[in-house]
Amino acid sequence: VAAPGKSVLSLQADGSAMYTVCALWTQARENLDVTTVIFDNGAYDILRIELQRVGAASAATPGPKALALLDLGSPAIDFVKIAEGMGVPARRVTTAEELAAALAGAFAEPGPHLIDAVVPSLALTAG
């Protein structure tokens, strides 16, 4: 919107995407040349990592109900369907090769695009 004629690459995580999902509708309505990549691990991992860092990551510390709120899998969020429902072409990728191909395709065709890049959880390996 601020720089017509320029292509934009937007990178965000699935948790933050839930706060800005309405941007997809704006991209479609204005036919903006924006490619959005959502790194989708199905969780608010940054919050899990912060709990680990302060020693509060066990199931009993914040409580099982609070820990369950960090999971974005119930119900599962389908970013491809959300984007398509707002008029934005979308696809899901699970490998680096698929991501590269999806980016090349999005950059080759003007207009909005969403790529749902499924990635592993980092909280499981954070120390």
Is residue 126 one of the residues assigned to a domain? no
Under-70 pLDDT residues of the chain: 1, 56-62, 66-69, 123-127
| CATH code for position 98 | 3.40.50.970
Is residue 93 one of the residues assigned to a domain? yes
Predicted confidence at residue 114, as pLDDT, reads 98
How many domains does the structure of the chain reveal? 1
Predicted confidence at residue 126, as pLDDT, reads 44
Predicted confidence at residue 123, as pLDDT, reads 63
The DSSP annotation for 74-110 comes to: TTBP-HHHHHHHTT--EEEE-SHHHHHHHHHHHHHS-
Predicted confidence at residue 71, as pLDDT, reads 73
pTM greater than the 0.85 cutoff: no
Q: Which domain holds residue 37?
A: 8-118
Kind and range of the H or E element at 118? strand 113-118
Is residue 125 one of the residues assigned to a domain? no
